[in-house]
Every structure is written in C-alpha cells, then in structure tokens.
Structure 1
Amino acid sequence: MKGRTVVLDHIQGREAAALMVDGILEDFLIASDAPPIGTIYRARADRPVKGQGGMFLTTPDGPAFLRQVKGLAPGVQLLVQVTGFAEPGKALPVTNRILFKSRYAIVTPDAPGLNISRSIRDEDERDRLLEIAHDQMQGCDYGLILRSCCHGADDADIAEDVSAMRAQAEQVMLDPGTEPETLCDGDAPHVLAWRDWTDPAEVATAAGSFETHGVLDALDVASGIVEPLPAGASLFIQPTRALVAVDVNTGSDTSLAAGTKANFACAKALPRALRVRGLGGQITLDLAPMPKKDRKGFESALRSAFKTDLDETILAGWTPLGHFELQRKRGRVPLAEVLK
C-alpha cells in the first residue's frame, strides 16, 4: 500500500496510533499506565542527591527526579513536566522548563520572544506568521515558537492553536494551589499523532483499522527481537536491564562486502526499529565485520538516519572492541511491556 496513512484505533483496550508509510510501520504510539510525557505537576522538593546535582520530588504519581538543581531547598513547591518514562522502580524524569506544545505552536513561559521555525525561509511567509504571533501573544510575557507545519497553514487554524496554548499556559502557570497536584495531563496517542505527524496523509479512524491496514502484522514483527534487512540480513534487538544490544547478521550473503552492506542497512533501519519498539537508553551495536576505512561512512549514514527522529539520540562512538554505542532518550514505554 503506497503513501502515508495515519491509523487511529485501539488495541488491547488501549488507545493507539500508527503511521504507515508505503505499507511499512514507520511509527507507533500507544497509551500506557505510566504518566504521559508532557504531564505537568505541582511538585514538592524532597531530598537532594549529593554528587549528582539532582533532587527527588514528590508528585501525585510517585517520586520524580529533577537534574541540575541549584538553590532548591527541600519543601519548596515548583512546577515540573514529565520528559520521559522511568524503568520499574525508578523515579520519573522531569524538568522545570515547562513547554506547552501543540500542532502549530509551542508556548515557552520561561523563554520570552516570538520565534519562527528555521525551516521556514520564505520571508513573506515568516512575516505572515509573525503578524499572527504578535496578534495572539499581545500583552503576554511568555515566549512562542511557531512550528514548521505552520508553512501554508490557514491563519485561523494557527491563531486558534496559539490562543489555546496561551490560555492553557496561563491557567497552569498561575494556578494558586499549594500541594502536589497534576495540573495538566500529557497528550494521548491520537492527539500526539495529530500534533507530530504533520505531513499530508490519509487518516483511518474506523474500528478495526489496525487489521485492515496491516498494523497488527507489523506489530507482530516489532514485538519480536528480529528486524529483517534487505538481502536476507537482519538485526537482533534485545533489551536488557542495563542496555539494548543490537546484533547485525549478514544472513546467507558470504561476499566480501556482506558485512559493510548489512551495517549500512542497519544504519538506515535502526531509528525506525527502535522507535516502533519504544526502546531507549544505552544502545550497543555489535556490527558485522567491515574494513575500518568504512567506519566514517557508517557514522555518516547513522547520523543522517537519526536526524529526523523526534527522540534525541547521541552517537557516542566506537569501543575498543569495535562496537558502536548510542545514548537515546527514553521517550516511550517499551512496546513489549505494554502489549503482553
């Protein structure tokens, strides 16, 4: 099936969204029992962590951990926002830099100024968007970022989105409460799909759409440890407590270039394979044998592949044993933990 299709449905009683591109599962979002990313709490500082520059906080959903605190004393109330998912037994990662993000607009209470996405370079278009921004943010000290999908969008749609995010920001930031409380829930999968999958696509919302559009078959593959690659090669992706191990297998190809071809195919497929599985943290690649002269090309291919990925990924580099390591934000609950 050619083209882009956003499929909104439910699986095992959970709201979920799938992005299919030319019949391949490109992205998948599913609700979990963990607080969604973007959830905003009024939290209470609990106890500092010496040597790590962090502070444990009390929230309505359990302990949270805030990094890089300075001058924060136990007992102080502050607003924090969930930035990722915690492993079992660990505290929620949060930040005190609050953002209110929607399809067209991001309101930044702690960073004043009106900004347009750098990807929008047409001066007339930037002037149009700045005019909308000035009109909607007049009298407000908060900052605003208009996202790339504003290019060519209707004035009224952008203005409505900015107005809604400004109102939500003012309501949360000015809340007068004094006890730990959930002030704003993070977006559910269907809203996230509308917010972040902004390229033109067909949208399927009928019950059973996951089956009719091949999502369930793709999830069967993603729920396993094997990710097929071209020419019979494959990835074996196995999460452990400490890290995610990825082994590159050349399959039946015994040519001299088999390892290099499989490794470059790995670089292209890895972001999608990790994304749909919801995997992050430390990732170690056990690559197929290839000449050292090809390492720079592999790094470039890997960097290019992760460039458009929404979850931040750091390419840490090579180990003495010839493995390649990455550090990826834990932006989702692992698929295997949700679909059991």
Structure 2
Amino acid sequence: MTTRTRLGVLLVAVLLLGAVAVDSVLHAADRAARRDRQQAGGPQVTSGRVALTSKGGSKQRPRLVFRNTAWGPHRDELASVAAADPSGPRTASGVRCLRFFAAAGTGSCLRAVNGPAGDGYQAVVLDAALRERRHYPLAGVPTRTRVSPSGRMVAWTVFVSGESYAGTHFSTRTSILDTRSGRLDDTLEKYRVVNNGRTYRSPDVNFWGVTFSDDGHFHASLATRGHTYLVHGDVAARTVTMLRRNVECPSLSPDGANLAFKKRVPGLPAEAPWRLYVLDLRSMRERPLAEQRSVDDQAVWLDDRTLAYALPGDFEADLWVVPADGSGTPRRLMTAALAPAVVG
C-alpha cells in the first residue's frame, strides 16, 4: 500500500469516527431534550431534612409528607411540602417507600428490598426523623397502611395473590403491630368474625384497609362469598364485627364522626366499579361525593372537611381533593404524588 493510499484510508477513518461522534452527541442531546420535555411542568424537588413532627416540639404550619413519583433522582422518595402550598418546592428525604402513612411522629413505610437471597418487600416502622425502628418481611405486594392517631399501632395490607381489588380473584393479608409492646398480629384472619351476634366462618375471608379510631379499635374491609363488608375490630378481644355491606377501604375522619369509603356502584365497568362515599356514623346515612371517576384508593382526610385520594396521572399518580359533604367539585392537589399524610 502506497503512502498516498494509507493517507486516504486514514482520512476516511477520521471522517467516519467524526461522524459517529457527532451522531452520538446529537442522540444524547435528543435524549436530554426528550427527558426535559417529559419533566417539563413537573415539581421542583431537592434533597433536605424531612420530619414527621416539628423540631423541638415547636408549633409549625402543617406539611404533607408523601411518596414523590416525579421522574428524576428523587423518584419514590418520601417528600415534604407545605400544606398551604402543595404545588410548591418539595424536599426529598432519601427514604423510599411504595406505600406510606404517618401519625404522631410514627411512620409506616412499605418498601421493596433487593438482596442476595432475592427480591421482596418489608414493612418498616419509622421514627419522627424517618429513621428505621424495626422492620418486618411482607408476604406479598404492598397495598395499604395506616397508623393510629397516637402513633402506637400500625397496620398494613399486602396482596398475597392478585394485584387488584376490582376483580374477585385476589387474596390479601392484613397485619396489626403494637409498636410499644412489639406484639404483631400477622393476619386478621386469626380474629373471630361476628355476624348478627354469632361466629361467622368461611375459608374465603379476606381483610384489607384498616383505619384506626384509637389504639384498641379499628374499622376495615372484609370480603367473603362475593360481598364486601365494613367491620369494626377490637384488638384486645381479637374480634371483628360485620356492620354493613358494600364498603371498601374505609377511612375515619379526625373527629371520628364520618367514614369515607369506596362503594361498588351497579352499572359501572368491572375494571372501574367504585365511587367515593362518606358514611355518617351517627345516623348511618351515606352520601356520594362529587368525584365521578372510579377511585381505587384508601382516601386520606386532610381535615374534617376535605378528602385526598390518588388517581392515575402523567407521573404515575396525582393527588386530588374533594369536599366531604358531597358539595363542590374535585380539584387536583398535587401532580406526581400519592400516599399523603398530614404532619406538623
């Protein structure tokens, strides 16, 4: 090969390498542009301190702590935002949870774990600074969790089989933990079920959606023989009493007067069968709320008048709110967020 030929080959190689480099740069720029467009309009999220109570016991304005679902390095982390400015900047904690709730400085975090023995899930009890106090293995996919008003009792539900409440072929396991004594009732299926004053037995009983009234009592959903029921539970007696049909994912108001729930409404699609209702526990009368979309969530009371719940959004889920008295119209509270708790 002559010198001129070698120079020609070298020149072609240089030109090809340059074209590849330019193409790589253009592709990288295009990917960044697509990412920026995807995140355009998303919330501002930065790292910082997130706590479940005010520092030093001092008074502070309420904040919302929730799972941040915005794309980026803080996705799935617990984040905090001022309750008065829910669309404002978010502070991300570094603690990742799939489901979350908190009360009185105790947090319940249901998380995914990866390890040499395989992947799985854990229920983690957090202190007010989001430090782990203890953790427990979960038998399935996390779906619901709640903490009693005092912060002492924690409950969680997982899907043991199936991953949707919309159908009839699913199995759940619901556990209740006393964080003070360490006693864990690993499944409510060990409790005695009472219906019309008599013990009820059926092999298909499922529980989910605990909401605490105090450290010794709770409401939950029970499913059996194709129907769902509201039940009232007594932790000390280890009993649940069936109260009312067609009540799922109950949520007790802070004043204990009302119970929000999702109700299956005839005529709606099988994959989206629910509407939000509120049950007045004094009169036992129920009222539909203004939200007309199907809500597959355990609603959270932001106060005695307002309910928050998750619906699908561009970043997995958005939080919406609606008045609890049946008036008004739903409005979006936050984008890219779910599993909120009011703290502070």
TM-score range, shorter chain: under 0.3
Q: Which has the higher strand share?
A: 2
Structure-2-length-normalised TM-score: 0.25
Q: Relative contact order: is structure 1 or structure 2 higher (C-alpha 8 Å, sep ≥ 6)?
A: 1
Decide which structure has greater helix share.
Answer: 1
- Which structure has the larger Rg over C-alpha atoms? 2
